[in-house]
């Protein structure tokens, strides 16, 4: 049985670069529903001079659903895309939004090549280097 989205949660997106040190003004933020109950929800807005969007009201399951155990998830899931010229597109998938809660999603934008040439997208920072024992690898190169 599908859960009704009778509540309202709020979402704010922050766009930053340089390890979070610098805000990204004017980034295009698109928020789209990721569940069958919110698949028609789509909001598009821009970040301000401090890299933040306004708080967006979004449909979510009622808060009471999270007060007792069960198999129903007590939140709505949304997919967020953040883009701006000269930066790689950043996506956050299945971001939870709870009724009566302000969720804050930070998107770290990585600058494209300063030469303006097309370049391969950078590796994600959470990739495990199998040859580095300090990052969870064995310390041995794969043959």
> pLDDT per residue over 16-73, tens digit each?
999 999 999 999 999 999 999 999 999 999 999 999 999 999 999 999 988 878 778 8
8 A C-beta contact, residue 107 and residue 15: yes
Selected residue with higher pLDDT from 85 and 139: 85
Full DSSP string of 19-36: TTTEE-TT-EEEEEE-SG
Whose CA is closest to 28, among 41, 43, 9?
43
Q: How far apart are CA 60 and CA 76, in angstroms?
A: 5
In degrees and rounded to multiples of 5, residue 15 shows phi and psi of -110, 125
Helix, strand and coil percent figures for the chain, each rounded to 5: 10, 40, 55
Percent of the chain residues past pLDDT 90, beyond the cut? 68
Structure tokens at 57: 């009201």
Q: How far apart are CA 80 and CA 101, in angstroms?
A: 17
Q: How far apart are CA 35 and CA 117, in angstroms?
A: 38
Selected residue with higher pLDDT from 133 and 41: 41
For residue range 90-107, list pLDDT tens digits in order.
Answer: 999 999 999 999 999 999
CATH architecture of 7-113: Sandwich (2.60)
| Structural domain boundaries in the chain | 7-113
């Amino acid at each position: 049985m599908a859960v009704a989205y009778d509540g309202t949660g709020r979402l704010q997106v922050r766009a930053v670069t340089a390890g979070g040190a610098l805000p990204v003004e004017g980034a295009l933020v698109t928020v789209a529903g990721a569940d069958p109950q919110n698949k028609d929800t789509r909001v598009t807005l821009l970040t301000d001079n401090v890299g933040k969007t306004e708080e967006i009201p979004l449909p979510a399951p009622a808060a009471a659903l999270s007060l007792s155990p069960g198999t129903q998830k007590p939140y709505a899931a949304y997919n967020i895309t953040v883009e701006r010229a000269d930066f790689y597109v950043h996506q956050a998938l299945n971001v939870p939004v709870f009724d009566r809660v302000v969720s804050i999603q930070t998107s770290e934008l990585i600058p494209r090549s300063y030469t303006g040439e097309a370049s391969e997208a950078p590796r994600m920072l959470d990739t495990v280097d199998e040859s580095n024992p300090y990052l969870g690898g064995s310390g041995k190169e794969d043959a």
